[in-house]
Structure 1
Amino acid sequence: MAQTPMETSFHVTHEADRTGETLLVGLSQFGLAGLTAVDYLATQLELEETGHITAEALPSITPFAEGRPRHHTRLYSRPDLEFTVLVGELFVPVQAADPFSRAILEWTDHNTVDEVAVLSGIPLAHGPEDHRTFYIATEDYRRDRLAETDVDPMGMGFLDGVNASLIERGLDTDLDVGVFVTPVHAQTPDAEAALRLLSTLKAVYDLDLDTGPLEAFAGEVKNHYAQLSERLEAAQSHERPDDRMFM
């Protein structure tokens, strides 16, 4: 696998027989909205951890709860569901976005995954009327998933980092890729933004998911995610993906 000047590489370990056709992704990004959303999804649907991603030559973290450590980037699934959820608590700097995305995409290539959906917050100046979810998606994803929904496209701008790498693969291959974004506020985690992303996911994938307890869930993990946010803020500005977009 080609490596960046940082010599960073990633490796996916996963149970091969526990893969759905869709990968739902939430990472340690702005407002932690996407991460909060997929973490909540995995918890509420009682998904089982079926794999993880390790990083080499990158400052890492080892999260833990009630004294039990866990991998920073984990894959969850359930036999009766057609999707796998990626919960990424490790902040991936923009210089490491390509190898991280390649590791994910090599995994999708070798499994039955033909669709990727990313949930993400964006630090965009906005008013109350913009408290909604927007999409940036490949043509196939728009046709197959969004034609019957009322999710609006993002007006203009550009993606950077992991989101850009995944969308770019979707442009060049038959992999369907959609990135769902919503404006986020400074508080972490932004539970309202996570709720908007989950509501969109419910509509797009017809999920039976109770989003009522999300506020309580966000409260339970507030301190944990606040520490992640501090690490994100401490990262040098050139390491952060821009995700610059305009309404």
Structure 2
Amino acid sequence: MSQSSFDVATDSDRETGTTLVVGQTYPGLAGVTAADYLVRHLDSEQAGHVSTDALPAIAPLEAGVPRHHSRLYTLDDAPLSVLVGELFVPMGAARSYADALLAWANTQEVTEIAVLHGVPFAHGPDEHAVFHVATDGYRTNRLPDDVFHPLANGFLDGVAGELVTRGLDDAAPEVGVYLTPTHPPGPDVDASLRLLTAIESVYDFDVDESDLQSLSEQLREYYGKLAERLASGTEGEDALAGYDTEDGMYM
């Protein structure tokens, strides 16, 4: 795919800030859920969107109102821009997607990119934590005390892998990936909470996490009851009974 397959259009004169936070759709939905929650619970304004002629479009909607699938926001209380990417970007399109984001970043004053990334990898019960994969400059600027352990080994692919690879080039922004294990198919709200807390601590701002914590408790209760029904061989008649989605957060 060519670089022109994706286009970043901005329709706001607001300053974008020096950091771009990226939350993409990936199995477990941790990153996109955290990014979406962030812009919904802080004072934010949509500043643009990413479009493509290379992939089938989706039109997320709320209360009958459609929206762009990949949206850029600016925040009032933090020098951040946030990309909420509800369109799944397949491996073959990741390079041109990263090209478009970096070309846009070069027209702004973006000096670093923080990726919120949940991955369904094998882990133990004591490994429900946030790890990092970061370029040298990002690690020096944002992670000097090793608050988050580095991921021991493996590799990053897709959009996260492309952005990190470009970040190894001096001409590109520094990149830090905040990575946590997820449990697909999702949404893994606990993983989203971990990512949200991590980005708050690094960039020194606060978000009221109570709605996300409440959703986590609802899901935990639901799946616990579902496991009991499956174990007893019975079927529930009202899946997700009492499940509250009135806040409209990304699911």
* TM bracket (short chain): 0.7 to 0.9
Q: Paired residue for 2:54, among 33, 54, 57?
A: 57
Superposed, 1:208-219 pairs within 5 Å as 208-216=206-214
Aligned to 2:36: 39
Aligned to 1:199: 197
Asked if the contact 1:10/1:103 (under 8 Å) is kept, the reply is: yes
C-alpha distance 105-22 of structure 1, shift in aligned 2 (>3 A)? same
The Cα of 1:183 is off from its aligned counterpart by: 0.4
The Cα of 1:197 is off from its aligned counterpart by: 0.6
Matching of residue 10 in structure 1 with residue 35 in structure 2: no
Larger Rg, first or second structure (1 or 2): 2
C-alpha distance 222-31 of structure 1, shift in aligned 2 (>3 A)? farther
AA paired with 1:37? A
The Cα of 1:220 is off from its aligned counterpart by: 2.2
Asked if the contact 2:43/2:77 (under 8 Å) is kept, the reply is: no
Superposed, 1:80-95 pairs within 5 Å as 80-95=77-92
Asked if the contact 1:50/1:76 (under 8 Å) is kept, the reply is: yes
Superposed, 1:1-247 pairs within 5 Å as 3=2, 9-14=5-10, 15-174=12-171, 175-216=173-214, 220=245
Equivalent-residue separation in structure 1 for 2:21 and 2:205 (angstroms): 13
AA paired with 1:67? G
Q: Deviations over 1:135-174 (max 9, x none)?
A: 0000000000001351100001111111111001110125
Asked if the contact 1:72/1:89 (under 8 Å) is kept, the reply is: yes
In structure 2, stretches of 5+ residues that fail to align are 217-243
Equivalent-residue separation in structure 1 for 2:14 and 2:63 (angstroms): 30
Q: Is the deviation greater in 97-106 or in 185-194? A: 185-194
Asked if the contact 2:6/2:54 (under 8 Å) is kept, the reply is: no
Q: Is the deviation greater in 57-66 or in 210-219? A: 210-219
The Cα of 1:186 is off from its aligned counterpart by: 2.3
Equivalent-residue separation in structure 1 for 2:199 and 2:30 (angstroms): 13
Using structure 2 for the length normalisation, give the TM-score.
0.83
Equivalent-residue separation in structure 1 for 2:147 and 2:162 (angstroms): 26
C-alpha distance 224-56 of structure 1, shift in aligned 2 (>3 A)? farther
Please report the RMSD computed on the Cα atoms of aligned residues, expressed in angstroms. Answer: 2.1
Identical residues among aligned pairs (%):
45
In structure 1, stretches of 5+ residues that fail to align are 227-247
Equivalent-residue separation in structure 1 for 2:85 and 2:76 (angstroms): 21
Aligned to 1:245: none
Asked if the contact 2:114/2:176 (under 8 Å) is kept, the reply is: yes
Asked if the contact 1:114/1:176 (under 8 Å) is kept, the reply is: yes
Q: Deviations over 1:222-244 (max 9, x none)?
A: 99966xxxxxxxxxxxxxxxxxx
Equivalent-residue separation in structure 2 for 1:86 and 1:178 (angstroms): 15
SS of the residue corresponding to residue 181 of structure 1 reads strand
Asked if the contact 1:189/1:222 (under 8 Å) is kept, the reply is: no
C-alpha distance 146-132 of structure 1, shift in aligned 2 (>3 A)? same
The Cα of 1:85 is off from its aligned counterpart by: 0.3
Question: Aligned pairs, how many?
Answer: 222
Equivalent-residue separation in structure 1 for 2:248 and 2:205 (angstroms): 29
SS of the residue corresponding to residue 152 of structure 1 reads coil
